Homo-oligomer: A and B are copies of this chain.
Amino acid sequence: MLYITKSVTFSASHRLYNPEFSDEENERIFDKCNNFYGHGHNYTLEVTVAGEPNPKTGYIIDLKILKKIIQDEILSKVDHKHLNHDVEFLKGIIPTVENLAIAFWNRLENNFQDGKLHCIRLYETENSYVEYFGKKRD
């Protein structure tokens, strides 16, 4: 088994906010991430696919195909968007980096003919990131 990873970036804004909380609670819990109009990040998304190299091509998965899946399923929906307002598949989700990683996994999981989705790593800044390996590894 080998693991191949493709890294992409996108720029988006978000606001951390739970409508069930009072304003004071939102302010206390989410602090500066609770700013009404939001704030933003250059996110880096790493998608790892596990598999055996095809002996004819030496590829687990053609990176052009992997990139197209990521583009179609994720980047075309989230790049240069406000994650709370503009993204259908994130409706009702507090867009923390944890919840985004799970949502991206769910978008991507069933798109692979070659190899199998193994890991989503999502950087919110250069100094903080989340990894998710799907439910099967819980």
Interface of A, secondary structure class, is mixed
Q: Evaluate contact between A96 and B5: CB separation under 8 angstroms.
A: no
Q: Evaluate contact between B131 and A5: CB separation under 8 angstroms.
A: yes
Number of residues on chain A facing chain B (CB within 8 A): 67
Task: Given contacts A4-B98, A39-B40, list 9 more A-B pairs with CB under 8 A.
Answer: A1-B138, A2-B98, A4-B130, A5-B129, A8-B127, A32-B79, A37-B85, A40-B41, A58-B93
Interface residues of A (CB under 8 A from B): 1-9, 11-14, 16, 18, 20-21, 29-33, 35-42, 48, 53, 56-60, 62-64, 79-82, 84-86, 93-99, 101-102, 125-133, 137-138
24 chain-A/chain-B pairs, Cβ below 8 angstroms: A1-B138, A2-B130, A3-B131, A4-B129, A5-B128, A5-B130, A9-B125, A11-B41, A13-B13, A16-B58, A29-B62, A30-B57, A32-B79, A35-B81, A39-B40, A39-B81, A41-B41, A42-B126, A53-B99, A57-B94, A59-B98, A60-B98, A60-B130, A63-B128
